Structure 1
Amino acid sequence: MAPASGAFTVPPDALLRIAATRQRSCDLDLLHAALHSRRLVLFKALLARVGRGELPSAARAAFDRDWRLLELAESPAPAAARRLLDYPAVGGWIVDALNAPGPDGLTAALHPLGGIAVGTALRTGARLDTVLPTAGGRLVLPGVGAQDARAARVRIRSGPHGTLLTPVGNSARSVFLRPDGRGAGAGWSCLAVLPGSAGRLDDLGTGHTLVPDAAPRPDRAAWLTRWRAAIALLASADPWRAAEVTRLVRSVVPMTPAGGGASSGTLRAAPWAVHTALPDTARRFAEVLVHELAHSKLAVLADLVALHHADGSAVHHVPWRKDPRPLDGVLQGTYAHLALADLWSRVAERPGATPAARHVARARREEYRAQVADALTVLLDSRQLTEHGVRFAVSMKQHLTSLGRGSNSPYALSDSLSGDGDVR
């Protein structure tokens, strides 16, 4: 596996642009490079944990096999491998494995590594010939899809033109996968592409979920229809924000609604994944995408720049929560709500909006703006922000002040975020 890069420096102007929630392409390139470096560090930490000798011999042999497969899969095209290795669910899986309790927990947590290697080979065209165990007769390739093999083991043969999955003892359910993940054969289901983006609807249980897999399987058509409507709403009000969402979101992972209502979340170990119950409207889905994407951006930035030195004590109150929040939670929530204030400011000014629609959007903007203003006071009065954190908070405050005053951002955004859709 390629070595991790050295330390990353966030230029002062990039920090201010990210704080305003509307960064440039070069800023995103920095975040992606830092995330990949962090992912490689976690892989090496996992290798070190396994090397301490706590695994039973059979489990260690399986890990050694899968690790060799991953190295072989990556070697022909490291840049192509990067996209799979940086998939959100892979980050969540590594952290789970690092935190797994004892030998038995670690043994169970290591099972997805073989599927990660196969998914990587599919992207790079690497030649593999091996046999992998399934989990309950199912072979999962994170970020790609899942095979209902109905067998305990599957033979994997991959090359430049695709991958053949042959269930041992049940060859009638063999599947041939093209490099794009689409397959021919019984029992294969690939992840659906989120229209207009490079992301996937991870509705097959290949993602790292916040809750147990829901049954029955989510209504894929309903999810994709609502995604299209949400992106259309964003594009009509703020093409820049629509381009950001379609470029950055790598996966949408369906969740079971919490407490009878819609819910969403982001895992710090799995940036660029949006975990959510199906929002009931396009407007709500657009809000969820912008909100959770802000959490991802700040999660990656926080690994590069120390924004505060708080100890995690939950002593701060914010308008959007009844329970006290640690300072990091205040910062995360403030940033996500600023992105929503920015969104509704632009929805209010979109061409063709009716007076009634403008009124509703402005009311939403002012609601979020008031919440952010209160939380910024908490942050700036806490004396727990670092020098970088103060600059970040001040930039958030400046952007908040600019909303609703004609020009919605004090920052020039001359370069498009749309690019070619390839987010590493």
Structure 2
Amino acid sequence: MAAAPGAFVVPPGSLVRLATTRQLSRDTDLLHAALHSRRLVLFKALLARVGHEHLPRGARAAFDRDWRLLARAETPAPDVARRLLDYPAVGGWVVDALNAPGPESLAAALHPLGGIAVGTALRTGVSLDTVLPTADGRLVLPGTGVHDARTPLVRVRTGRRGTLLTPVGRPARSVLLRPDGRGVGLGVGWDCLAVLPGSTGRLDDLGAGEAAPAADVRPRTDRTAWLTRWRAAVALLQAADPWRAAEVTRLVRSVVPMVPAGEGASSGTLRAAPWAVQTALPDTARRFAEVLVHELAHSKLAVLADLVALHRADGAAVHRVAWRKDPRPLGGVLQGTYAHLALADLWSRVAERPGAAPAARRTARARREEYRAQVADALPVLLDSHQLTEYGVRFTVSMKRHLTSLGSGPNSPYALSDSLSGDGDVR
């Protein structure tokens, strides 16, 4: 595995642009490079932990085999392999493995590495010939799909035509995979992840990438509904805010269906798996568009926070915000403020777009003002906390400035309050 790049520097201009939620391509490139560097560091940390842990002999041998497979698969085309190594589910897996308590839990958590190696080889065209164990009869290739082999072992042979998966003892369930993850030939028991229309992201609805996938996970019967609603949400963004639509289709790597949580959160983003949107199926295209913008903001800030320290808070949940009933830690306030600023920005663009019908413009302005007020209430919590670093202050003041600019277009009847008119102190 290639060495991780050196330390990254966040230019002042990039920090300001990211704070507005509308960065340039070079700022996004910086986030991608930083994420990949961190992912490599986590893999190296996992290698070090395995080297020091007293694992069962079989588990250590399996890890050594899978690590060699991954190294071989990555070597000829590291840039191609990088896209899979940076896939959200891979990040979630490696963090879970690092956090596994004790040798037995770690041994179980290491199982998906073989599937990651095979998925990498599928993309880079490396030839492999090995036998991998399944989990409950399933071989998971993160970011690609799931082979329901229904056997404990699967032989994996890769070549120029693709990757042949042959369940040991059940050759009738063999499948030949093309580099794009599509199955050809018999194809029995293979389910690939669906492409999100208009993007390179995936609807990750097969449990692909889970450390211990359940045996009863099957393709969701409502996949068509998910893809239809995604397409409609992107179409709404393209009509109202083309830049934001392009950001969503370029940066979202996966949408992971969640079971609705009643009154709890219906969407979320894991810091270990940025660029993945976990959500219950939104009931409208407009709501889906909001979820995508909201969760993508969380991903951007999560990657940025791994680049630079934005605050020194201890994680105590002591701050009140308008969008939650329970107290929040300062880091949560910062994340929520940023995500709600992205939504205020979205609805401001919708409200000011040329040709909007009066009723649509009024609805958009009302939504903008709702989010704007929530951000306005939270900004003093951040700035008065005395727990922001220099980077954090600059970032928060830049958010404040951007909030001040929203609703100031020629079609807007709204004037921002005096409490938001100042620039604040930048240390």
Normalised TM-score (structure 2): 0.93
Post-superposition Cα deviations, 1:198-231, rounded to whole Å, max 9, x if no partner, equal 100001101459x988778251100000000000
Whole-Å separation in 2 of the counterparts to 1:118 and 1:44: 19
The partner residue of 2:364 within 361, 376, 380 is 361
Question: Which residue of 1 is the match for residue 24 of structure 2?
Answer: 24
Matches within 5 A, 1:96-175: 96-175=96-175
Whole-Å separation in 2 of the counterparts to 1:158 and 1:244: 35
Question: Which residue of 1 is the match for residue 201 of structure 2?
Answer: 199
Matches within 5 A, 1:354-393: 354-393=357-396
Preserved contact between residue 214 and residue 256 of structure 1 (Cα < 8 Å):
no
Q: For residues 260 and 397 of structure 1, do their structure 2 counterparts lie closer, same or farther at Cα, with a shift above 3 Å needed?
A: closer
Q: Which amino acid aligns with 2:190?
A: W
Question: Which residue of 2 is the match for residue 417 of structure 1?
Answer: none
Whole-Å separation in 1 of the counterparts to 2:73 and 2:400: 47
Q: Give the superposition deviation at 1:160.
A: 3.1
Whole-Å separation in 1 of the counterparts to 2:217 and 2:166: 28
Q: What are structure 1's unaligned runs of at least 5 residues? A: 409-424
Whole-Å separation in 2 of the counterparts to 1:10 and 1:208: 33
Q: For residues 353 and 392 of structure 1, do their structure 2 counterparts lie closer, same or farther at Cα, with a shift above 3 Å needed?
A: same
Post-superposition Cα deviations, 1:270-314, rounded to whole Å, max 9, x if no partner, equal 000000000000000000000000000000000111111111111
Preserved contact between residue 163 and residue 176 of structure 2 (Cα < 8 Å):
yes
Question: Which residue of 2 is the match for residue 217 of structure 1?
Answer: 220
Whole-Å separation in 2 of the counterparts to 1:263 and 1:55: 38
Whole-Å separation in 2 of the counterparts to 1:124 and 1:253: 25
Whole-Å separation in 2 of the counterparts to 1:9 and 1:278: 38
Q: Give the superposition deviation at 1:55.
A: 0.7
Q: Give the superposition deviation at 1:137.
A: 1.0
Question: Which residue of 2 is the match for residue 416 of structure 1?
Answer: none
Whole-Å separation in 2 of the counterparts to 1:237 and 1:186: 43
Preserved contact between residue 236 and residue 350 of structure 1 (Cα < 8 Å):
no
Post-superposition Cα deviations, 1:314-338, rounded to whole Å, max 9, x if no partner, equal 1111000111111000000000000
Q: Give the superposition deviation at 1:39.
A: 0.2
Question: Which residue of 2 is the match for residue 5 of structure 1?
Answer: 5
Question: Which residue of 2 is the match for residue 325 of structure 1?
Answer: 328
Q: Which amino acid aligns with 1:151?
A: T
Q: For residues 262 and 195 of structure 1, do their structure 2 counterparts lie closer, same or farther at Cα, with a shift above 3 Å needed?
A: farther
Preserved contact between residue 233 and residue 285 of structure 2 (Cα < 8 Å):
yes
Question: Which residue of 1 is the match for residue 189 of structure 2?
Answer: 187
- SS of residue matched to 1:303: helix
Question: Which residue of 1 is the match for residue 46 of structure 2?
Answer: 46
Post-superposition Cα deviations, 1:180-215, rounded to whole Å, max 9, x if no partner, equal 110121111100000000100001101459x98877
Q: Quick one: percent identity of the two aligned structures?
A: 82
Which region of structure 1 is more displaced relative to structure 2, 4-13 or 100-109? Answer: 100-109
- Greater RCO between the two (CA within 8 Å, min separation 6)? 1
Which region of structure 1 is more displaced relative to structure 2, 264-273 or 251-260? Answer: 251-260
Q: Give the superposition deviation at 1:101.
A: 1.2
Preserved contact between residue 319 and residue 374 of structure 1 (Cα < 8 Å):
yes
Whole-Å separation in 1 of the counterparts to 2:202 and 2:219: 19
Question: Which residue of 1 is the match for residue 417 of structure 2?
Answer: none
Q: Give the superposition deviation at 1:53.
A: 3.1
- SS of residue matched to 2:176: strand
Whole-Å separation in 1 of the counterparts to 2:349 and 2:210: 33
Count of aligned positions: 407
Preserved contact between residue 257 and residue 277 of structure 1 (Cα < 8 Å):
yes
Preserved contact between residue 88 and residue 208 of structure 1 (Cα < 8 Å):
no
Question: Which residue of 1 is the match for residue 425 of structure 2?
Answer: none
Q: For residues 262 and 329 of structure 1, do their structure 2 counterparts lie closer, same or farther at Cα, with a shift above 3 Å needed?
A: closer
- SS of residue matched to 1:242: helix
Preserved contact between residue 306 and residue 386 of structure 1 (Cα < 8 Å):
yes
Is 1:316 paired with 2:319? yes
